[in-house]
C-alpha cells in the first residue's frame, strides 16, 4: 500500500501550521535581519499571517482554505507590487527556517520544506539583485 500521509498531516496539522505562521510573523516583526521584508507588510501582520496560514494549509495537503476564500493563489501576480530580489528572498527563507526550527518541525521534513520554500520564494523574485 502507498503511504498517502500529506505534509500537512506529517507537520502536525492545523495546530502546527498555525504555530509556524505565528512564529514566522513574530520573527519578521522583531528580528532586525528581517526588516527589509517587514517593511513590505502593513502595520498589523494579522491579515498576512492569516493568508499565509490559509495558503500553507492547502499547499501542504490540508484544507484548501486560501483557494476557497480567494481563488487560485496566483503567487507571483499577488507579489508583483513588491520589489522582491535576492535579499528579500533570502530574508523570507531565513525567517521561515528559524520559524520551522522554533516550532520543532522534524529535521528531514524541515529540509524538504526548505527546498520547496526556497524554490517558491525564488519564483517570487521580480527585480535583479
Residue 2 in domain: no
- pLDDT at position 129: 74
Q: How far is CA 56 from CA 30, 33, 62, in A?
A: 22, 23, 8
| Gap between the Cα atoms of 5 and 127, Å rounded | 37
Helices within the chain (DSSP H only): 7-11, 13-30, 35-38, 46-59, 65-70, 75-79, 86-103, 107-123
Task: Tell me if 118 is assigned to some domain.
Answer: yes
The residue ranges of the chain whose pLDDT is under 50 are: 1
Number of domains in the chain: 1
In a domain? residue 101: yes
Q: What is the pTM of this model?
A: 0.93
CA–CA dist 105, 100 (Å, integer): 6
Task: For cell 531565513, name the residue.
Answer: 94
Residue 70 lies in a domain: yes
Q: Is residue 117 part of a domain?
A: yes
Q: How many residues does the chain have?
A: 129
For the CA atoms of the chain, what is the radius of gyration?
14
Report the pLDDT value the prediction gives residue 128, as an integer from 0 to 100: 86
Could you give the CA distance from residue 95 to residue 72 in angstroms, rounded to a whole number? 25
- What is the span of the domain harbouring residue 86? 8-123
At residue 1, the pLDDT reads 47
The CATH code of the domain that includes 65 is 1.10.490.10
The pLDDT score that the predictor gives to residue 92 is 98
111 in a structural domain: yes
Q: What is the pLDDT of residue 3?
A: 63
- Is residue 128 in a domain? no
Q: Are 94 and 33 in contact (CB under 8 A)?
A: yes
Amino acid at each position: 500500500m502507498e503511504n498517502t500521509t500529506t505534509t500537512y498531516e506529517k507537520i502536525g496539522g492545523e495546530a502546527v501550521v498555525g504555530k509556524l505562521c505565528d512564529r514566522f510573523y513574530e520573527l519578521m516583526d522583531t528580528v532586525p535581519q528581517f526588516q527589509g521584508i517587514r517593511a513590505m507588510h502593513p502595520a498589523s501582520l494579522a491579515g498576512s499571517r492569516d493568508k499565509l496560514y490559509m495558503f500553507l494549509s492547502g499547499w501542504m495537503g490540508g484544507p484548501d482554505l486560501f483557494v476557497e476564500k480567494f481563488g487560485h493563489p496566483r503567487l507571483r501576480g499577488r507579489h508583483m507590487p513588491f520589489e522582491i530580489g535576492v535579499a528579500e528572498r533570502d530574508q523570507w527563507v531565513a525567517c521561515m527556517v528559524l520559524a520551522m526550527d522554533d516550532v520543532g518541525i522534524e529535521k528531514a521534513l524541515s529540509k524538504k520544506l526548505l527546498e520547496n520554500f526556497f524554490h517558491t520564494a525564488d519564483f517570487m523574485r521580480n527585480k535583479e539583485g
